[in-house]
Amino acid sequence: MAENRGLFTLDAAQAYLAAEPEMTTEKLADRLFTVSDGQVRTIFLEGNSSVIAFDTFGTPGRARAYGKAIGEAIPDKRIGTVIYSHDHLDHSGFAADLAPDADVIADEMCAKVIRLRQAEGQLQPTRVLNGERHELTIDGVDLVLLNPGPTHGSGNLAAYFGAEKIFFSSDTVLANARYGFMPDYHFCNFIAYMRGFLALDWDCFVPGRFELTDRAGFERGVDFIEAVMTECQNAFVNFVPIWAYEPMKGYCIGQLAERFGDLEGFEGHVGQMAIRIVHHYLMGGWGLEDTPEPRVLMAGHISL
């Protein structure tokens, strides 16, 4: 059977799209679980009569493996709701394979990008949210969904569970340096929005990939990205050839190793991070998302 392809055009991609990895599930609180394929991570919740799943993982095979992991943790309840953390296919590309009949909730920006993208397997949201904070009750589960503004991807929704003191924000901050490739980060307001999440009362942070961390790990992750942003500006001041990988890597390691060299993945990723971030200062960012007032983004131009 041919798999949904996302944006792949090669038939040879079928083997990649079909592979079903091992998933690791952990219960974080009553009704709340986290699951990872070793790379990407997300959360799901047990409702009164159904499951509320954040995201889908990034291939049809991974979506099926996610569905099986949910079924093992919560037997006999269908996935009634899928919430997209953001538009990226590696997180939310395959609801068609996870739960084709589920209600799909997403931020308006995310929904607009999905409407235009037309990736095979990425279902259009059935319920669109617009604004910074949403308090929802879905099948007996209380949820707070937050989007302070462009952070990563389009329409990034974080989830805050106040009673459990747990916070989930996909592809934004890690407690390590293993996310070096940052094409769709919106640096203009990123640090301020991330620090804003620290005003909430939580102890456990669930990132969109790799391992869980605590408040200190989250703060250090934000500090690290901010420090790379600072050194990328200093690279201009010091006439480092900012377009070249090796000089930028060497410069950033020299400036940051003492403070952040212990972060897992530091030497392997900081050069790549720096190449991306210097272009924020060189070129002005990622379009409208990287303006001080990004709320005008695509306003009124795309009908859902």
- In the complex, which residues of this chain contact Zn ion (CB under 5 A)? 88, 153, 171
The least CB distance from residue 191 to Zn ion, in Å, is 18
3-state secondary structure (DSSP) of residue 134: strand
Q: Which is nearer to Zn ion, 153 or 207 (CB)?
A: 153
Distance CA 252, CA 84 (A): 34
The least CB distance from residue 91 to Zn ion, in Å, is 6
The least CB distance from residue 134 to Zn ion, in Å, is 20
The least CB distance from residue 237 to Zn ion, in Å, is 31
Distance CA 183, CA 272 (A): 10
Q: Which is nearer to Zn ion, 3 or 171 (CB)?
A: 171
Q: Which is nearer to Zn ion, 110 or 141 (CB)?
A: 110
CB within 8 Å of 208: residues ≥ 6 apart: 40, 41, 42, 85, 91, 169, 170, 171, 172
Instruction: Give one word for 298, left, alpha or beta, with left for phi > 0 and alpha for psi -120 to 50.
Output: left
The least CB distance from residue 153 to Zn ion, in Å, is 4
Pairing outcome for strands 127-129 and 103-107: parallel
Distance CA 8, CA 23 (A): 24
Burial (0-12, 13-18, 19+ Cβ within 10 Å), 15: exposed
Distance CA 220, CA 79 (A): 35
Q: Which is nearer to Zn ion, 88 or 280 (CB)?
A: 88
Q: Which is nearer to Zn ion, 171 or 289 (CB)?
A: 171
The least CB distance from residue 169 to Zn ion, in Å, is 11
Q: Which is nearer to Zn ion, 47 or 149 (CB)?
A: 149
Q: Which is nearer to Zn ion, 46 or 171 (CB)?
A: 171
Distance CA 110, CA 103 (A): 15
**Cα torsion for 167, 22, 174, 51, to the nearest 10°?**
-20
Beta strands in the chain (DSSP E): 24-29, 32-36, 41-46, 50-54, 78-83, 103-107, 127-129, 133-138, 141-146, 158-161, 166-169, 204-207, 213-214
Distance CA 87, CA 107 (A): 9
The least CB distance from residue 71 to Zn ion, in Å, is 26
Distance CA 142, CA 120 (A): 31
The least CB distance from residue 36 to Zn ion, in Å, is 15
Q: Which is nearer to Zn ion, 42 or 213 (CB)?
A: 42
